[in-house]
Amino acid sequence: MILNNLKIFVTVNTASEFLCFLAALIFLYREKSVAWKLFIPFLLLTCCTELAGIYIREFMAVSNYGIYNVYVLFECGFTSYFFFYLYKSYHYKIKWLYIWVAIFMVMYVTDLLYHDFSRFVSTTASVMSVVFVLASLYFYFLKLKDEHFEPLTFSAPFWWVSGTLFFYFGSTACNNFLDYLALYERITFSRSIRYVIFNILDIILYIFWSYAFICRYRQRKSSPLLG
Amino acid sequence: MQISSKEVISLIGLTSIIFLIAPLFLILYVLSYNRRKKSHQEETIMLQKNFETELLRTQMEVQEQTLKTVAYDLHDNIGQLLSLTTITLSSINLNDNQNTAEKIALVEDLTLRSIKEVKALSRLLHGEEIVSRGLRAAIEFELEWLKRSDRFKISLQHNNIPFTGDSSVETIIFRLFQEIINNILQHAKATQISITLEGAVDSFKLMIADNGIGFNVDEIINRKAGMGLHNIIKRSTMINGNAAIVSSPEKGTTITITVPYK
């Protein structure tokens, strides 16, 4: 009975998130850069949110959108900050980060109020995905424009951005038709197509991120100044 | 026609797959562009190394040329002056006071001329310094030596050249000038040499013309004998410039080297 209950918590999402968290813990534990080290608490929070989401859904038999509405704040805050950290070396001004966070907050609050706190902030999440896709593309643009050569195959920022691009770009279609899918997919198919797509996206995202952590670890080992 | 929810959901799934493939190609493109950037960087480093090697060779050639001039001058001028001094001194008859006084005056004159020659040689030996004083000064100094032979009618024309490029470029241009003059001395059988230094808004021009026997440019370049000309063209290209060689038998030669400032 207990084992069966525990099994509910073991999904593709939770497993991939947990493995990525372990990778962060192992490879970024001695990291000196705050931005990179923040991955450990962020991924821990992601795992906890996912487990809490399952618990609320399965054992309390209520909708779990509330916990994801809170999580999206951390997701946006951390991802935006990390993008800013990557752009910083290209003399990117912090005012753009503040402007984006302000826009996001306005959108988030409006979304919550518009739906009377009764559902997931899907519009805000969609806009956030588009912004992160643009941020990833801008990173590629900066890399292409940069005359200085960097071996990208072992570049931690490059693989982090690639994973992020895969995840947010790949989830665009699902995010835009979230309401439609929520309404019809279970009636039409035995399995949720949204669930399958997000499983694939999660696996890609966390594989790329884990590889980025390994690259960062190698980089730190080869140049001790990094940590 | 109404689209069923099954079709819509399949379409969303398909769109998601396409949205997954697109970043994959983008990543592959960025990686392949980055590889090209690497090979471009390696090429740039190689070109820089080649330039440095060529510059070193040029500097050595300038020094070699200076030493050759010194050797010729020691033999033809100072050697002759000192021999004449020795002969004059040995022919002095101490009993003939007037003759002795004349000969001592002659020896004094010969000695003063020798000292002057030695001083000029000493200046020439600082070949590096000559180029560092500016290209025009270096060319004028070189022409001074050439004028002493009285073999050529030499003219130098220049506007106020604002050529303040880096010294390595000036050294290479100076060596090109020396090489062209050497060619004229050895092969052209010319009587007149005219040199023009011209600074324009975006480029610098060095033109050397002679009234010698000339040659067939294509023929010489295609032959192994045209190594000197190949060198002139190659070195001009190395400093982002170009060398235009205009010549035909019995009609003299004009070589124009144009180098952009940046």
Give A131-141 pLDDT, tens digit per residue: 999 999 999 99
Residue B242 has pLDDT above 60, yes or no: yes
- The nearest CA of chain B is from the CA of A184 a distance in Å of 7
Q: Under a CB-based contact definition with an 8 Å cutoff, are residues B114 and B106 in contact?
A: no
Give the chain A residue nearest B32 (alpha carbons): A152
Spatial CB neighbours of A194, under 8 Å, sequence gap ≥ 6: A174, A178, A181, A182, A185
| Domain residue spans of chain A | 2-226
A149: phi then psi, degrees, rounded to nearest 5: -85, 135
Beta carbons of B34 and A149 less than 8 Å apart = yes
Q: What is the CATH number of domain B135-262?
A: 3.30.565.10
H or E element at residue B153: strand B153-158
Contacts with B, A 73-112, CB within 8 Å: none
**A94-98 — which CB contacts under 8 Å span 24+ positions?**
none
What pLDDT shows up at residue B183?
87
Give residue-wise pLDDT tens across range A133-176: 999 999 999 988 888 888 888 999 999 999 999 999 988 777 77
Mutation target to probe the A interface, by most A beta carbons within 10 A, among B8, B12, B40, B43 is B12
Q: Among the residues of A39-177, which ranges form H helices?
A: 39-59, 65-87, 94-114, 122-145, 156-170, 172-176
**B173-176 — which CB contacts under 8 Å span 24+ positions?**
B173/B135, B173/B204, B173/B206, B173/B239, B173/B257, B173/B259, B174/B62, B174/B131, B174/B135, B174/B138, B174/B139, B175/B58, B175/B61, B175/B62, B175/B235, B176/B206, B176/B232, B176/B235, B176/B236, B176/B243, B176/B257
Task: With cut-offs at 50, 70 and 90, classify the pLDDT of residue B2.
Answer: low
H or E element at residue A179: helix A178-188
Task: With cut-offs at 50, 70 and 90, classify the pLDDT of residue A181.
Answer: low
- The nearest CA of chain B is from the CA of A149 a distance in Å of 6
Q: What is the mean pLDDT of chain A?
A: 87
Beta carbons of A150 and B22 less than 8 Å apart = no
Kindly state whether A153 is in contact with chain B, defined as any CB-CB distance less than 8 angstroms: yes
What pLDDT shows up at residue B57?
85
Give residue-wise pLDDT tens across range A12-44: 889 999 999 999 999 999 888 999 999 999 999
Residues of A in contact with B23 (CB under 8 A): 162, 165-166, 169-170
A152, A169, A185: residue with CB nearest B34: A152
3-state secondary structure of B158: strand
Report the Cα B169 to chain-centroid distance in Å: 8
What pLDDT shows up at residue B248?
86
Q: What is the ipTM of this complex?
A: 0.82
Residue A227 has pLDDT above 50, yes or no: no
Q: Which of A203-212, B156-165, B223-232 has the lowest mean pLDDT?
A: B156-165
Give residue-wise pLDDT tens across range B135-172: 888 888 888 878 877 788 989 888 766 665 667 888 88
Cα separations (Å) of A46 from A37, A104, A170, B131?
15, 20, 19, 69
CA distance B61 to B177: 12
3-state secondary structure of A203: helix
Q: Which of A13-17, A137-141, B184-188, B207-211 has the lowest mean pLDDT?
A: B184-188
Beta carbons of B9 and A189 less than 8 Å apart = yes
| Domain residue spans of chain B | 7-125, 135-262
Beta carbons of A169 and B23 less than 8 Å apart = yes
Contacts with B, A 6-35, CB within 8 Å: none
- The nearest CA of chain B is from the CA of A1 a distance in Å of 36
What pLDDT shows up at residue B129?
64
Task: With cut-offs at 50, 70 and 90, classify the pLDDT of residue A57.
Answer: confident
- The nearest CA of chain B is from the CA of A178 a distance in Å of 10
Task: With cut-offs at 50, 70 and 90, classify the pLDDT of residue B68.
Answer: confident
- The nearest CA of chain A is from the CA of B34 a distance in Å of 7
B204: phi then psi, degrees, rounded to nearest 5: -120, 140
* Higher per-residue pLDDT: B126 or A109: A109
